[in-house]
Amino acid sequence: MQQVQLQDGSVAWSMNCVEYLQGAISNVDKYLNECDSALKNYRDGKRPFPSSYRPEMDVTPELDAEAMNRYQQYIGVLRWAIELGRIDMNTEVSCLSQHLASPREGHMHAVYKIFRYLQKNLSSNPGRMVFDGAYPETDPKLFANSVTDPDEWNDFYPEVAEKLPAKKVLPLGNPVIVRAYIDANHAGNLKNRRSHSGILIYVNNAPIIWYSKRQNTVESSSFGSEYIALRICTEMVEALRYKLRCFGIPIDGPA
């Protein structure tokens, strides 16, 4: 963690995993050179791998035992890099992680392309995550018409109180605002028609939770897939608010 100065003159903290990735890329570099023919048309490094590539539809030959073990190790390295803040490749790594049991040559090439992308963008803005404690600006007009009559939903959602810690700490300091962004690509997996959830949760302007995972069920509509993503996010927000209260951090209003 290190301090950074924002454009408005305020100070925030940033986290990066450049040193970790430098070591990881050096171990993969010899394979990148061996696989240079497969990567010759992928030197721009604009994306972790092309948006047209669908790992679930790959029919290239399966990897042998040695290459499979190397593939699983590389996925572990990339997962840890995501935990350290490289959320710009979260969805791609999540899709490739679904093939750990029987990866194919195309999956390995996709992993190499992710490392090539990291090599090209090692020290750029995606390599640094800023935790800004400033309060976000939210236009209240965006939510003005979201609920016309709160009592209208009482039959579906009875009035309940938020779960609070039994031995909660007296809250001190300035309150924080929790925001969540949720989305799902309906039937994004072309083989089994499952959707993929994406969730990003902020405390003030600091990203705290990032989530990208394939859903466990097949939904017949985009409403169903997005509602499942919303349910998962709601559980995460409830757990986060409970944890913040355990730390004695006051929370400003609902998420």
Which of 93, 127, 161 corresponds to the end of one domain?
A: 127
- Residue 216, phi-psi category: left (phi > 0), alpha (psi -120 to 50), beta (remainder): alpha
State in Å, rounded, how far the first CA of the chain is from the last one: 27
Tell me the C-alpha distance between 226 and 198, whole Å: 10
Give the distance between the most distant pair of CA atoms in the chain: 65
Q: What is the reported pLDDT for 165?
A: 84
Is a pLDDT exceeding 60 seen at residue 38?
no
More confident position, 19 or 222: 222
Q: What is the reported pLDDT for 26?
A: 80
Mapped to the 3 state alphabet, what secondary structure does 155-182 carry?
CCCCCCCCCCCCCCCCCCCCCECEEEEE
Which of 102, 127, 152 corresponds to the end of one domain?
A: 127
- Asked whether residue 255 is assigned to any structural domain, the reply reads no
- Asked whether residue 119 is assigned to any structural domain, the reply reads yes
Q: Which pLDDT tens digit goes with each residue over 39-52?
A: 655 555 678 888 88
Task: Please give the residue range of the domain that contains residue 92.
Answer: 2-127
Residues 227 and 208 in one domain: yes
Amino acid 142 reads L
Is a pLDDT exceeding 90 seen at residue 227?
yes
The sign of the torsion formed by the CA atoms of 50, 194, 211, 135 equals positive
Q: What is the reported pLDDT for 211?
A: 95
- Asked whether residue 253 is assigned to any structural domain, the reply reads no
Q: Is the pTM of this model over 0.85?
A: no
Q: What is the reported pLDDT for 216?
A: 93
Q: Which pLDDT tens digit goes with each residue over 63-91?
A: 999 999 999 999 999 999 898 888 889 99
Q: What is the reported pLDDT for 6?
A: 66
Domain total in the chain: 2
Q: What is the reported pLDDT for 60?
A: 93
Which of 79, 104, 127 corresponds to the end of one domain?
A: 127
Q: Which pLDDT tens digit goes with each residue over 130-182?
A: 788 888 887 777 766 666 666 766 777 777 778 888 887 888 889 999 999 99
Q: What is the mean pLDDT of residues 227-244?
A: 94
